[in-house]
Amino acid sequence: MIAIAVLVSLATLVSLATVGTPEPRPSPSRTSSITAPVLVSGSLPDPKNVAEKCRELKYERPPQIKAEIRVDGTVENAQVTQSCGCKAGDQLLLAAFQKWMYKPALLNGKPVGFGLTVTFDKFRW
């Protein structure tokens, strides 16, 4: 029993000795800064056209579109993630949105791709 206690104590002492002092922390580096893309041009579909296609349907909620803004500011991989309640209205909005142009997002001053979701609160018929 005494031998086991001595071994445990010796093992604890060895583990304490190997822990030693903590390694120095790396010095703080410059943090990355990103700025979101800025809309340069874009328009919504003609409200009369939307009303004509969706007049029989009830407006449900503001539609949302998820997309990627490329380094050149164009829209890519756009998709409707929340419908307004009218599939034709969603498609008109999506077609218009895909033509929008942005000033691209910047990471440390350099253009980068950027994913975003846009909610169209004023898109109604």
Left if phi > 0, otherwise alpha if psi is -120 to 50, otherwise beta: which for 67?
A: beta
Domains of the chain: 32-119 (3.30.2420)
Q: Which tokens is 52 given?
A: 């004509």
CA distance 104 to 23: 41
Beta strands in the chain (DSSP E): 34-35, 38-41, 64-69, 75-82, 101-103, 105-107, 110-112, 114-119
Q: What was the pLDDT predicted at 66? A: 98
pTM: 0.72
Q: For residues 107 and 32, is the Cβ–Cβ distance under 8 A? A: yes
What is the block-wise mean pLDDT of the chain (125 residues), using blocks of 10 residues?
40 42 56 90 94 92 97 98 96 97 96 96 86
